[in-house]
Amino acid sequence: MTDQFKAQIRKAKSSDCASMLVLIRELANFEQAPEEVTVSLDHFKESGFGEKPVWWAFVAFVTDEVGKEILIGFALYYIRYSTWKGQRMYLEDIFVTEEWRGRNIGTMLMSALIVEAKQMQLKGMSWQVLNWNEPAIQFYKKYGASLDDGWINVSINV
């Protein structure tokens, strides 16, 4: 792809799920954990577009010469509840494919998230970043994000 294709942002549609999973696998490779992606396409699609969706997303795309949209990034979020702050947006993942980094697409996605959080009257936005991902940390600092190294991530499989 070249710069002749202009990136655009829109809310994700059910038909984007397969392409989003390709990007999620690319993200997992970048994060050195490709084996961790175990979600099926059916489960992913149902979780975002079924009767009771638990996630929402924005996608970044370009349109090729024949009018086909090609996903080049996404930002997937859900609503969490903080007993201290109230409802907040939790940014699960924001990702731009390597070929398209450095072209303000991450900024476009973050802007869409911020507008969405304000429209939903949420009390803020939170997310995690790997401590070695310096480009992402610098990107988040441009938004005045505070990084808290006092918490430890905890999870269990059930």
- Which are the catalytic amino acids? 140
H or E segment at 74? strand 69-82
Question: Amino acid identity of 75?
Answer: A
Other beta carbons less than 10 A from residue 90's beta carbon: 17
**Helix or strand or coil: residue 97?**
coil
Question: Amino acid identity of 6?
Answer: K
**Backbone φ/ψ region at 67: left (φ over 0), alpha (ψ -120 to 50), beta:** left
What does the longest C-alpha to C-alpha distance in the chain come to? 50
**Backbone φ/ψ region at 88: left (φ over 0), alpha (ψ -120 to 50), beta:** beta
Half-sphere exposure of 88 (CA within 13 A, CB side): 14
